[in-house]
Chain A
Amino acid sequence: MSKLEEMKISNHNLSELEKDLALNGEVESTEDIVTEELAIHFGPQHPSAHGVFHAIFHVKGEVVTKIEPDIGYLHRCFEKIAENRTYTQFIPYTDRMDYVASMTNNWAYCMAVEKLAGIEVPERAEYIRVIVGELQRIASHLVFLSTAGSEAGALTPFVYFFDEREGILTLYEKICGARLTYNYIRIGGVRADAPEGWLDDTLAFVTRLKKRMYDYDRLVLGNYIFKKRFIGVAPFSAEQALDWGLTGPPLRSTGVSYDVRRSDPYSVYPRLEFDVVVKYKGDNYDRACIRSDEIKQSIRIIEQAIEQIPEGPVKADGIAKVFKPAAGEGYGHVESPKGDLGFYVVSDGTTKPYRVKIQGPSFGNLQALPAMSEGTYIGDVVLTLGTLDPVFGEVDR
């Protein structure tokens, strides 16, 4: 219905324009002007596409009537590759899926293999996983906030958020030597214990970030133009969100409290206090705000984890580089910054997985883009795409 109304509005504007043109003598009669539906190609190489995304926007005036997404430009056959690698060899490939949040990819895959093979992870390793996983959530959401701002024209916050993210990447570099593709979480634990002073550095970092989040909220989410562009745009109801299979922040912004950390508790999350952030309007602004609030919850979690972390080993004993889990199936999933990230691993008793299915939240979330943004203005589609926060390494896999 809203689509029709929008059309009427745009037609109304057009007739105003027609009158102007007619008055200037450029057009003989206004009947000659008709609104024609245009097909505009967006991408595959487009700076606002967050990766290689191709879509055809059908527009009538300024209003988008239909979107035809076309994905697959970054398809790298990870599921096929997995069948030709040993269980351990596949971990680095998971880094390359959602490359903004590699740590949670490692985690989900290792968890699936651990469930398959029945491996117990030592407690200290679980705490380290929680700390690095939550740092990853903060880093990913900082990238979201910076790009969301820049898409609405606010380029300055970009610099602040990337500076903060740099702090997290430095912490990662200290703990595992890599800044983006970590390969740090391993089957049965983590690769190495945190170096001396790392936990103190992390605590200092989150304490500083906690203070600054207040300013950052005002800088982006409180900005007048940002609010004008985001509030009320492309709202989604809970029914629609569930029907379209959204997970993660886009689903929680519609009032559905689905967070894997609470719904299917893993690791040491049951011992940690935090709130699942839920918003109710489901528009672009809620989808943006929810990420900022999740950063604050992640900071809470990290503070508690650092306080509770016990001494001990960080890797389960007796896990060889090449091992043969008994034939069976394992499904592990975590709440990644993008949503419910799952790995479904099937073993036939050999050293290599028989099948690895990757359930990428970006894939599921992107699917809702047409339903979400048809009927909105073309200038807002990029914002809506941004608030779904897809990473195409994970969409195409």
Chain B
Amino acid sequence: MSDENIMNQGNSEEISAGIKIVEEKGIGYTLTVEREDLFKAASALKEAGFDLFLFVSGIDYPESIKLTYRVYSSKRQNKLAVMLKTEVPKSDPTVDSLVPLWSAANWHERETYDLYGVIFKGHPDLRRIFLPQDWVGYPLRKDYSDDHMTVMDDGKKDKDKAAAKDKPAAAAPKESAEKQDAPEQPSDIADANEVSTNGSDKNE
């Protein structure tokens, strides 16, 4: 959400010095901070009565990963939940762990580490949670791909066809020999117009 959008919302409240939550369309009260200030802002929220940690979500953008936390208060009378947002650059995806504030952050941060590769500093046990420990890559990043993935054709059929034509004829047999289970066809894929394997010919 852009800064203008946040500024346009009238409803807001200052939780503590410099920590101000504003209402944002679609998701409720929001607090956006720099990643260096994340722990401080989260501590202020906890002080203000936000005692229930609900989730942390990564969102992958070309240069950065945005993190959205949601916390809820069982003590306050109004403005019960806040989305806490921050952003980490992909070149250095580290941010302070919130486990010291809410034990519940443990698995949620592990999940975000597993799927986005965000390193939570100070996390007691930062391991993959869903995928095997020896998995390579972070699947929810947009540039992730592996040999098992299938993607829906979303009207880029012509582009695929062009890519298949451009491919040197010698390259195709070599590749199918490498991957025994891969469907052996650049042209079939373009015809099937629904499913194409990402590994064989869809990489740009």
Contacts and interface: CB of A to CB of B under 8 A. Distances in A.
Contact of A344 (B27, B72, B142): B27
A75 interface: yes
Main SS of chain A's interface residues?
Answer: mixed
B70 A330 contact: no
Nearest to B128: A72
Given A245-B52, A346-B59, A75 B130 contact: yes
Given A247-B54, A352-B154, A355-B57, 20 more contacts: A72-B128, A72-B132, A79-B115, A80-B139, A84-B151, A243-B51, A243-B103, A244-B103, A245-B54, A257-B74, A263-B80, A264-B80, A328-B25, A331-B83, A342-B70, A357-B68, A359-B54, A359-B70, A363-B107, A363-B111
A242 B72 CA distance: 10
Interface of B: 1, 24-28, 51-55, 57, 59-60, 68, 70, 72, 74, 80-81, 83, 102-108, 111, 115, 128-132, 139-140, 142, 151-152, 154
Nearest to A243: B103
B130 to A, nearest CB: 4
Nearest to B55: A359
Given A344-B68, A396-B130, A331 B54 contact: no
Contact of A72 (B70, B130, B140, B142): B130
A242 B74 contact: yes
Interface of A: 71-72, 75, 77, 79-80, 83-85, 115-116, 238, 242-245, 247, 251, 256-258, 263-264, 328-331, 340, 342, 344, 346, 351-352, 354-355, 357, 359, 363-364, 367, 371, 396
Contacts of B60: 355
6 contacts: A83-B142, A238-B74, A244-B103, A329-B24, A357-B57, A357-B68
B131 A243 contact: no
A363 B24 CA distance: 27
Nearest to B81: A264
Contacts of A238: 74
Contacts of A355: 57, 59-60
B162 to A, nearest CB: 21
Q: Which 8 pairs across A and B sit closest by C-beta, in order of nearness?
A: A245-B104, A357-B57, A72-B130, A75-B130, A331-B27, A330-B26, A359-B55, A242-B51
A80 B140 contact: yes
A95 to B, nearest CB: 19
B131 A75 contact: yes
A263 B53 CA distance: 15
B54 A71 contact: no
Which of B55, B102, B106, B111 counts the most A-chain CB atoms under 10 A from its CB? B55
A243 B104 contact: yes
A342 B130 contact: no
Nearest to A258: B74
Contacts of B57: 344, 355, 357, 359
Contacts of A244: 103-104
B18 to A, nearest CB: 24
A376 to B, nearest CB: 19
Contacts of B151: 84
B179 to A, nearest CB: 21
B54 A328 contact: no
B103 A364 contact: no
Contacts of A354: 59
B65 to A, nearest CB: 11
B83 to A, nearest CB: 7
Given A242-B52, A329-B1, A329-B24, A367 B83 contact: no
A331 B104 contact: no
Nearest to A69: B107
Contacts of A71: 129-130
Contact of A357 (B53, B55, B72): B55
Given A72-B129, A331-B26, A342 B72 contact: no
Contacts of A251: 52
B54 A115 contact: no
Given A84-B152, A328-B26, A363-B107, A245 B130 contact: no
A103 B139 CA distance: 28
Contacts of A85: 152
B55 A342 contact: yes
A151 to B, nearest CB: 24
A263 B197 CA distance: 46
Which of A80, A256, A329 counts the most B-chain CB atoms under 10 A from its CB? A329
B59 A367 contact: no
A85 B104 CA distance: 31
